[in-house]
């Protein structure tokens, strides 16, 4: 599993390369950001649904008289999803692209920044 985790990390950082490359057209970066934010929003909506099951102490009706308490349904969801490689991959892509995209945006627009960070952002830290 450690090898698979390393492969996932390499793939995620490779996906991030267009965000940090100087040759990337600035119009492409918001397009990448929209996809990343869309995935994150989807995760948030699903999590919110299970959070409401817990907070409101509701049950999940699966039909045919099968009812699962909300806390148990949420535990099964979180236990399954948080151990999923695909979900962890999506979260890692979101985090890496968000952090690198923010730093690149700050660096490429350092001339517009009139706060003390301006001197710190002038050196090139990306490709």
User: pLDDT for 44-63, tens place per residue?
Assistant: 888 888 888 788 888 878 88
Count of C-beta atoms within a 10 Å radius of residue 27: 7
**Residue 119 pLDDT > 70, yes or no?**
no
pLDDT tens digits along 85-113: 777 787 888 888 778 777 777 777 666 65
- Output the pTM of the full model: 0.57
Q: What angle do CA 74, 55, 72 make, to 5 degrees?
A: 25
> Exposed (0-12), middle (13-18) or buried (19+): which is 77, by Cβ within 10 Å?
middle
Higher pLDDT, 121 or 29: 29
């Amino acid at each position: 599993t450690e090898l698979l985790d390393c492969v996932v990390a390499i793939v995620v950082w490779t996906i991030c390369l267009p965000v940090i490359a100087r040759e990337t057209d600035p119009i492409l970066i918001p397009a990448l950001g929209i996809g990343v934010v869309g995935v994150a929003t989807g995760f948030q909506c699903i999590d919110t649904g299970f959070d409401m099951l817990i907070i409101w102490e509701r049950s999940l009706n699966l039909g045919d008289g099968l009812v699962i308490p909300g806390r148990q349904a949420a535990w099964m969801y979180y236990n399954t999803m948080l151990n999923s490689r695909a979900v962890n991959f999506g979260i890692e892509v979101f985090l890496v692209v968000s952090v690198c995209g923010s730093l690149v945006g700050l660096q490429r627009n350092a001339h517009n920044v009139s706060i003390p960070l301006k001197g710190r952002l002038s050196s090139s830290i990306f490709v």
